[in-house]
Amino acid sequence: MNPLSPRHLITASALAIAIGLGSAGAQEVVEPAPEDVSPQIAQQAQDAAKANEPLGADAAAAAESQVMPGSFADLAEQVSPAVVNITTTSVVSQPTGGPGAGPRFPEGSPFSDLFRDFGFPGMPGGPEGAPPQQRRAPQRSNALGSGFVISADGFIVTNNHVIEGADQIEIEFYSGQRLPAEVVGTDPSTDIAVLKVESDEPIPFVQFGDSDEARVGDWVLALGNPLGQGFSASSGIVSARNRELSGSYDDYLQTDAAINRGNSGGPLFNLRGEVIGVNTAILSPNGGSIGIGFSMASNVVSQVVQQLQEFGETRRGWLGVRIQDVTPEMAEALGLAAAEGAMVTDVPEGPARDGGLRAGDIITRFDDTAVTDTRGLVRRVAEAPAGETVEVLVVREGQEEVLQVTLGRREQAEGMAGAPTAPTDQTETELLGMSVTQLTPETAAELDLPADARGLVVTNVDPEGPAAEKGIAAGDVITEASQQPVTSVADLQARIDEAREAGRRSVLMLIRRAGEPRFVALSLAED
C-alpha cells in the first residue's frame, strides 16, 4: 500500500473531557439496552465461561450452512458478552485563556477537530486574533476505547494507544459490571496491549480465528464503543488483505465495516464468531468513517498476545541482515528464473554472520517457509523464537546452500544503524551515466567511513543516464559489481565488460549510502 498521509490516517480512539467543575460535562457512555442480549444467551455465555469454552460455537455451525447471512443478530448476541468498553483516566495539562476564550478540548479529540475546522476562536490552528493561552492547568481526561476478553480468567486485548499513558483503566462489560484493569504488557510495534482484570466468576470470552483464511468479500462484524456511544455493531466485508501502513510487522485487513474513534482495540469477527482482526485505524479526510478501516490481522496479534501473556514483553527473532527485494533487472543480471527472495545487502556482526550468510546471498527459504519478498521474511523471522536454530536456504553464485543460523533477539539489537555520509564533488572516470573515483583514506574520512574502506565513490550523475534512473547519487560508494569486490575503476570496467560478453543486459552493483547497502542493477544498453 502506498504511504498514507498522517493527516488522514487516524487511530480509532476517542477522547472526552469534563468542561467546568466536576464531571457533569463529560460525555457519558450509553448503557447497553437490556434486551440486546436475552437472559438465556447471557446465561449461556456464563455457562461457557465456566466450562472454559469460547463464545460463538453456535455461530460457527450456522456459518457453515449459509453464504450470505439474513441477519447478524444471532452472531452479535452470542459474542457481545466478551466485548468490553475501556475508559482510561490520566492527568493532562490543558490551556486556559482569558475572558472570552472558547472551550478547550484535548488535542486529537473529535471536538478539537470540529471546532478548529469550523474556525472556533482560540483553538490551535484556528483563525488569527484568537485570545492567547495564559497558562496550562492540570485536568483529568478520559480516553475511550474498546477491547475483548480472550480467556475466562480475565485477559483482555486492546490497542496500545488506547491505554498508553493511562493512570487508571476501567473495563465495562456488556452486563454493566465495571472492573479495574492492570496492564500485562504492550507492543507499540503492532499497537497491541494485553490487560488483566480479577473476577470471582469466570468471564465469557472469544477466540482468535485464522486471518489467513479470510478472503476479500467475506462478511465481517465489528463491535466496539464508537465515539463513546456504548456497545455498537457494524457489518461489512473484507475489502483487502495484507495492507501495510507504517510498521515492520504490519498485516492489516481492510474493511468497509463502519469503524470510528472509540472502536480502537475492538474485535473484527468472521461469521464463525472468531476474532480475525483488531480494529486499529481508519483512512479519513474528516475524522469519520468513510468505509476504509484497518484491523491488525489475528495471526499477528495472537502471537504477540501469547508473548505478552508469558513474558510481559515481546521476544522476536533477529536474523541480523540488511535485505532488499529482488527486482526483475537484478534477477536477469544474476541469471535467476524469477524475481523472488530477499537479497542480503549487508551482514553486520550478529547471528547471520555467525551462520555464514554473506552480502549477495539471496534468501529463498527460511525455516521451511518460502521467501518471496523482504516483507514476508521480516514477519517470518519475527515470529520465530529468539535462540532457535533455523535452516536458511540461500542462492549464492548460482548454487543453493543450506545454512544453520541461531536467531538472536530483535529487541536487544534495536537501535543499530550506520552513520550518515556526506557527498563529494570530485570527478574521475565516466561509466554508465556516472562519474566515479577511487576511494582514498582522505575521501573515506570526509564521508565518515572507516579508514580501511574500499570501493569507488560516485562524484557526479548524469540526470538522463542509467545511474540516475536507478536512484544512484553523488556520495554513493560502489563496493561490488557482479558480486565481486571493486577497488579501482579498472575493476569496475572489467566487470562491465564481462557482463556484456556474457550477454547480460545489466550489471549488479552493491551501493552503500549513509551506511546502508543496497543492490542496483544498472542497464548496459549502449547510448
pLDDT tens digits along 146-192: 999 999 999 999 999 999 888 899 999 988 899 999 999 999 888 99
- Residue 66: beta bridge partners? none
- Give the rounded percent of residues in the chain with a pLDDT score beyond 70: 75
- Residue 83: beta bridge partners? 148
pLDDT in the model for residue 106 = 43
pLDDT at 309 over 90: yes
pLDDT in the model for residue 337 = 83
pLDDT band at 58 (very low <50, low <70, confident <90, very high): low
Highest mean pLDDT among 202-216, 335-349, 364-378, 422-436: 202-216
pLDDT in the model for residue 385 = 84
- Give the rounded percent of residues in the chain with a pLDDT score beyond 90: 30
pLDDT at 380 over 80: yes
Task: From residue 494, give the alpha-carbon distance in Å to each of 318, 428, 433, 487, 499.
Answer: 37, 17, 17, 12, 9
Domain boundaries, the chain: 72-91+139-314, 317-409, 429-523
Selection from 38, 40, 43, 48 nearest residue 205 by Cα: 48
pLDDT at 447 over 80: no
How far is the C-alpha of 41 from the C-alpha of 21, rounded, in Å? 41
- Residue 118: beta bridge partners? none
Averaged over 40-44, what is the pLDDT?
76
pLDDT at 111 over 60: no
pLDDT in tens, 127-154: 444 445 555 555 666 778 999 999 999 9
C-alpha cell at 55: 463464545
The answer to whether 225 touches 146, Cβ cutoff 8 Å, is yes
pLDDT at 422 over 70: no
Write down how long the chain is. Answer: 527
317-409 has CATH 2.30.42.10 classification: yes
pLDDT at 39 over 60: yes
pLDDT in the model for residue 278 = 95
Enter the CATH code of domain 429-523.
Answer: 2.30.42.10
pLDDT in the model for residue 150 = 95
72-91+139-314 has CATH 1.20.1090.10 classification: no
Is 191 annotated as ligand-binding? yes
pLDDT at 201 over 80: yes
**Residue 111, SS3?**
helix
The answer to whether 337 touches 317, Cβ cutoff 8 Å, is no
pLDDT in the model for residue 270 = 95
pLDDT in the model for residue 451 = 63
Averaged over 210-235, what is the pLDDT?
91
Same topology for domains 72-91+139-314 and 429-523, yes or no? no
Is 161 annotated as ligand-binding? yes
pLDDT in the model for residue 523 = 83
pLDDT in tens, 450-492: 766 788 888 888 888 888 888 888 888 888 888 788 888 888 8
Catalytic residues: 161, 191, 264
pLDDT at 427 over 50: no
Q: Which regions of 66-117 does DSSP assign to beta strands (E)?
A: 83-97
Look at 7-21, 308-322, 383-397 and tell me which has the smallest mean pLDDT. 7-21
Look at 93-97, 138-142, 367-371, 378-382 and tell me which has the smallest mean pLDDT. 93-97
How far is the C-alpha of 373 from the C-alpha of 338, rounded, in Å? 12
Is 263 annotated as ligand-binding? yes
- Please give the distance of CA 317 from its chain centroid, rounded to a whole number: 17
Helix, strand, coil percentages, rounded to 5, for the chain: 20, 35, 45
Region of 396 on the Ramachandran plot (φ > 0 left; ψ -120 to 50 alpha; else beta): beta
pLDDT in the model for residue 257 = 93
How far is the C-alpha of 437 from the C-alpha of 477, rounded, in Å? 10
The answer to whether 344 touches 323, Cβ cutoff 8 Å, is yes
* Whole-number average pLDDT of the chain: 78
Look at 413-417, 465-469, 492-496 and tell me which has the smallest mean pLDDT. 413-417
> Kind and range of the H or E element at 384?
none
pLDDT in tens, 245-264: 766 677 899 999 999 888 98
The answer to whether 193 touches 162, Cβ cutoff 8 Å, is yes
Look at 12-21, 128-137, 143-152, 420-429 and tell me which has the smallest mean pLDDT. 12-21
pLDDT in the model for residue 527 = 41
Phi and psi angles of residue 214, each rounded to the nearest 5 degrees, phi first? -65, 135
How much is the CA Rg of the chain, to the nearest whole Å? 28
More confident residue, 314 or 55: 314
How far is the C-alpha of 79 from the C-alpha of 232, rounded, in Å? 12
Kindly report the pTM of this predicted structure.
Answer: 0.63
